[in-house]
């Protein structure tokens, strides 16, 4: 610590200039950072589920699409059809779009003198009422399009816009939105599909956070001013967080990373967390000034006395965030990287930049007689009497809370379906529900089967499977070669039977290939060896998704069994994979966060016992966090899955500060009770300022209209309250109890 001080004293001006210059450079890069919203990008590229999804997309065409639903009193009238035709054209020409399917370009297999004829269903837009009527009759008989491209009442029509796989979905979605805007009215348009939902979620997050960030900063400034009653007490912590936010974004951009939906909370998180280190340094500096030290001496004291605790606190916070690297989701790993970097920068700035600034500032008389608020006094007196008078009831209460939490934890459900993020009545939810209701869903579920389509047994089982599959809840629109053959037979022989011999199938195929090569390439590979069944699924919760996909698996076993290899893929499979990884990642990162925190605190405090005591309150906090989630029925999703690790990282700081001060004081006083009181009164204050800043910061997010942000902000604020009291009440209670029980004075001395 001595060395740090000397370094800062010697180079204070250079440090200030370097930090400012670097911040400007980083700011330039930070402004260029992208936000990404692909659901596939959340999973690692080597995941078998992602691989299958991509393989199927490569073979049969993209599985990522947006459903554009048009609602009008009559979709077949001239103006609406012309609109659909023009939109189909515009969508096809949009960059990132691979294919468009609409009422004006769907293919029809027709019978006739020349065998069959495949052409566009609507080659001429009907003009008269009788033409419309006859088109309606034709369309109504086409089972593969009814309920998929249009509703039987001809009031709704669907345009499916498929995406090029490599393209960023949110960019394509915004292009599609722009096109839709041009054509709006009198027809109504509704957009659905995973790309739309994920994009909307990201945009909501972005919008709410950028709106709320100024309020978060203002709230923290207010808390800081109430705490320090001085300008530099406010400005220095705020500057610290601004620098760390800019650097964190800039470095991520330089590393080629982009922000995801969840890392948009990064600025808020860093504003709340990053200010802590500055607060402790500045608070100790003021303590020194009050005691009458010279400014350089006060800075030196601050670095020497809280430097180690700040480094430890920052280190454990970094570990808490870094533990999220153990998540199996890329999106959370990226978040871990960004926050770990940000916290590291905030730590560095607090230890080096702030002292460098303080050395170059004059000590005003004002800073020597800063008055404290009555409220703060009362809080600390209250806490003190609580700890010393009600030690045993408190212990009982804590044990009860622990038991209660453990009991409700198994009831926590996971959720990876984004639609759950939207309030009822929001445009996104309304559109999705309408599309589900009228067209049976906007999420593709595909079954890919290895087996030669010319095998009549396979074709028969595909038909049986499809018939059963659409009876499952939320599964609709099963389409495959079965339907094409049925249409073909309808055209040839006026019956919807599927061909039953190998030769028949081969010749049906030959006839189709002669008529339209593309028609079958959607369902069948060139070598006839792989075929797929396309279905759609409605937007439902992960729990229901899991049930339905499980039922589908059973049907696959029943109909394809050993003979043919069949697998499910599609967006629900991806989102279930995310769901599973949320849990496995949660367990891994929690265990590692707690363990590493234990290791670090044990090492720095040179005792496993000390490390254990410091870690205990935060373990309690994590338990209570899950307990609350269980009671309030808050689901574990990609946002809430991070809270436990965030809580460990941030919350353990309070315990560290209390504990290091306690050891310092106990060595001086050789009286644990008195040492505890002093620690609570001194460093406890810095803890309070810090906790208040973090809690107020996160509470501002509660104002968001976006539910996942509300639960994230609320739960984080809550865990901060718990960990603050964990450090100021539970930890002293534990320390006192330990001394009382063992009757040994050297209990917490070095091992």
Enumerate binding residues for another protein (CB under 8 A): 112-115, 117, 454, 492, 499, 501-508, 510-511, 513-517, 525-527
How far apart CA 218 and CA 238 sit, in angstroms, is 10
Instruction: With both helix axes pointing from N to C terminus, report the angle between 194-228 and 672-700 in degrees, rounded to the nearest 10.
Output: 130
DSSP category for residue 352: I
Toward another protein, which CB reaches closer, 17 or 510? Answer: 510
Question: CB of 93: closest distance to another protein in angstroms?
Answer: 15
Nearest distance, CB of residue 65 and another protein, angstroms: 22
Contact 481, 459 (CB under 8 A): yes
| Rounded least distance, CB 115 to another protein, Å | 4
- Which of 528, 540, 644 lies closest to 583 in space, CA to CA? 644
Spatial distance between the Cα atoms of 746 and 609, rounded to a whole number of angstroms: 12
From the list 200, 239, 199, the residue with the least C-alpha distance to 220 is 239
Spatial CA neighbour of 149 closest among 192, 105, 189: 105
Instruction: Let me know: does 601 contact 614? Beta carbons within 8 Å.
Output: yes
CB 324 within 8 A of CB 642: yes
Smallest distance from the beta carbon of 502 to another protein, in angstroms?
A: 5
Select 34 or 58, whichever has its Cβ closest to another protein. Answer: 58
Instruction: Provide, rounded to whole angstroms, the least separation between the CB of residue 456 and another protein.
Output: 11
Q: Which residue has the tokens 């990201």?
A: 202
Per-residue burial over 331-352, b if 16 or more Cβ lie within 10 Å, else e, is: bbbbbbbbbbbbbbbbbbbbbb
Closer Cβ to another protein, 492 or 710, answer by number: 492
Residue number, 255 or 514, with CB nearest to another protein: 514
Shortest Cβ 504–another protein spacing (Å): 4
Residue closer to another protein, measured from CB, 9 or 516: 516
CB of 87 to another protein, least distance (A): 23
Nearest CB to another protein, comparing residues 508 and 559:
508
CA distance 428 to 419: 8
Q: Please, which residues bridge with residue 531 across strands?
A: 449, 524
Please give the sequence-ordered ranges of beta strands (E in DSSP) within 61-175, or none if there are none: 65-71, 97-101, 107-112, 115-120, 156-163
Q: Which residues pair with 108 in a beta bridge?
A: 119
Helix, strand, coil tally for the chain in percent (to 5): 70, 10, 20
Nearer to another protein, 527 or 751 (CB): 527
Comparison of 117 and 229: residue with beta carbon closer to another protein: 117
Nearer to another protein, 24 or 510 (CB): 510
The set of residues, in sequence order, having a beta carbon less than 8 Å from that of 456 and lying 6+ positions away, is 499, 500, 501, 502, 504, 505
Looking at beta carbons only, is 527 or 743 nearer to another protein? 527
Nearer to another protein, 31 or 514 (CB): 514
The region, left, alpha or beta by phi > 0 then psi within -120 to 50, assigned to residue 193 is left
Q: How far apart are CA 258 and CA 34, in angstroms?
A: 5
CA distances from 330 to 164, 593, 638, 713 (A): 21, 18, 11, 22
To another protein, the closest distance from the beta carbon of 143 in angstroms equals: 21
**Min separation Cβ 563 and another protein, Å:** 19
Q: Are 274 and 653 in contact (CB under 8 A)?
A: no
Select 30 or 490, whichever has its Cβ closest to another protein.
Answer: 490
Smallest distance, another protein to C-beta of residue 61, A: 13
Query: Closest separation between CB of residue 259 and another protein, Å?
Result: 36
Edge-to-edge strands of the sheet including 475-479? 475-479, 530-537, 443-450, 565-570
Please report how close the Cβ of residue 272 comes to another protein at its closest, in angstroms: 53
The rounded Cα 426 to chain-centroid distance in angstroms is: 19
Integer Cα distance of 263 and 257 in angstroms: 11
Of 302, 289, 286, which is closest to residue 352 (Cα–Cα)? 302
Nearer Cβ to another protein, position 18 or 504? Answer: 504
CB of 127 to another protein, least distance (A): 23
Smaller CB distance to another protein: residue 515 or 655? 515
Task: Quote the least distance from Cβ 244 to another protein, whole Å.
Answer: 50
Nearer to another protein, 532 or 610 (CB): 532
Cα separation of 194 and 668, whole Å? Answer: 62
CB of 108 to another protein, least distance (A): 14
CA terminus-to-terminus distance, the chain: 23
């Amino acid at each position: 610590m001595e060395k740090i001080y000397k370094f800062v004293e010697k180079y204070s001006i250079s440090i200030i200039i370097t930090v400012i210059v670097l911040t400007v450079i980083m700011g330039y890069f930070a402004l260029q950072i992208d936000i990404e919203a692909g659901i596939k990008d959340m999973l690692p590229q080597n995941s078998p589920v992602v691989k299958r999804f991509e393989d199927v997309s490569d073979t049969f065409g993209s599985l990522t699409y947006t459903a554009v639903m048009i609602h009008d009193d009559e979709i077949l009238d001239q103006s609406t059809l012309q609109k659909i035709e023009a939109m189909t054209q515009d969508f096809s020409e949009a960059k990132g779009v691979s294919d468009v399917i609409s009422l004006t370009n769907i293919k029809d297999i027709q019978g006739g003198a020349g065998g069959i004829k495949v052409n566009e269903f609507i080659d001429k837009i009907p003009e008269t009422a009788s033409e419309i009527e006859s088109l309606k009759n034709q369309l109504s008989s086409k089972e593969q399009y009814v309920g998929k491209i249009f509703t039987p009442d001809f009031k709704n029509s669907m345009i499916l816009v498929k995406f090029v796989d490599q393209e960023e979905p949110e960019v394509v979605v915004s292009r599609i939105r722009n096109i839709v805007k041009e054509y709006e009215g009198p027809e109504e348009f509704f957009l659905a599909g995973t790309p739309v939902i994920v994009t909307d979620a990201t945009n909501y997050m972005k919008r709410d956070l950028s709106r709320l960030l100024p309020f978060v900063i203002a709230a923290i400034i207010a808390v800081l001013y109430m705490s320090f009653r001085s300008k530099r007490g406010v400005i220095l912590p705020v500057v610290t967080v601004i620098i760390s936010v800019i650097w964190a974004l800039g470095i991520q951009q330089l590393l080629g990373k982009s922000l995801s939906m969840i890392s948009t909370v990064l600025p808020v998180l860093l504003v709340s967390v990053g200010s802590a280190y500055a607060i402790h340094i500045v608070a100790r500096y003021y303590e020194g000034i009050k005691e009458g030290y010279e400014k350089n001496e006060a800075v030196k004291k601050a670095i020497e006395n809280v430097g180690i605790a700040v480094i430890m606190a920052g280190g454990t916070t970094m570990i808490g965030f870094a533990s999220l690297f153990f998540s199996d989701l890329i999106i959370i790993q990226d978040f871990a990287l960004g926050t770990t970097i940000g916290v590291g920068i905030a730590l560095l700035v607090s230890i080096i930049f702030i002292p460098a600034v303080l050395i170059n500032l004059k000590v005003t008389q004002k800073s020597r007689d800063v008055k404290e608020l009555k409220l703060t006094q009362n809080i600390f007196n209250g806490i003190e009497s609580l700890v010393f008078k009600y030690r045993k009831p408190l212990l009982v209460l804590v044990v009860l809370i622990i038991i209660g939490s453990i009991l409700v934890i198994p009831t926590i459900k996971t959720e990876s379906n984004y639609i759950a993020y939207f309030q009822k009545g929001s445009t996104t939810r309304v559109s999705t529900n309408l599309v589900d209701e009228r067209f049976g869903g906007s999420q593709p579920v595909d079954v890919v089967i290895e087996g030669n389509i010319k095998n009549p047994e396979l074709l028969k089982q595909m038909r049986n499977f499809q018939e059963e599959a659409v009876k499952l809840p939320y599964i609709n629109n099963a389409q495959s070669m079965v339907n094409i053959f049925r249409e073909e037979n309808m055209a040839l022989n006026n019956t919807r039977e599927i061909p039953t011999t190998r030769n028949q199938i081969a010749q049906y195929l030959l006839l189709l290939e002669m008529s339209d090569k593309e028609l079958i390439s959607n369902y069948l590979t060139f070598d006839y060896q792989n075929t797929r069944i396309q279905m759609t699924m409605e937007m439902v919760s992960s729990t229901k998704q899991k049930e339905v996909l499980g039922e589908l698996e059973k049907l696959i076993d029943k109909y394809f069994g050993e003979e043919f290899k069949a697998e499910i893929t599609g967006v629900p499979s991806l989102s279930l994979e995310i769901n599973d990884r949320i849990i496995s990642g949660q367990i891994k990162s929690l265990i590692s966060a707690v363990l590493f925190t234990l290791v670090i605190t044990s090492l720095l405090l040179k005792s496993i016992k000390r490390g254990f005591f410091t870690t205990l309150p935060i373990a309690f906090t994590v338990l209570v966090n899950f307990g609350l989630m269980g009671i309030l029925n808050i689901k574990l999703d990609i946002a809430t899955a991070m809270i436990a690790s965030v809580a460990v990282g941030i919350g353990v700081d309070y315990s560290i500060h209390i504990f290091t001060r306690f050891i310092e004081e106990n060595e001086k006083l050789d009286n644990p009770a008195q040492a505890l009181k002093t620690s609570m009164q001194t460093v406890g204050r810095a803890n309070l300022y810090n906790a208040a800043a973090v809690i107020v910061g996160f509470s501002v997010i509660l104002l968001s209209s976006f539910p996942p942000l509300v639960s994230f902000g609320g739960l984080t604020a809550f865990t901060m309250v718990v960990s603050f009291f964990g450090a100021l009440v539970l930890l002293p209670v534990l320390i006192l109890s330990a001394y009382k029980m063992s009757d040994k004075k050297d209990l917490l001395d070095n091992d």
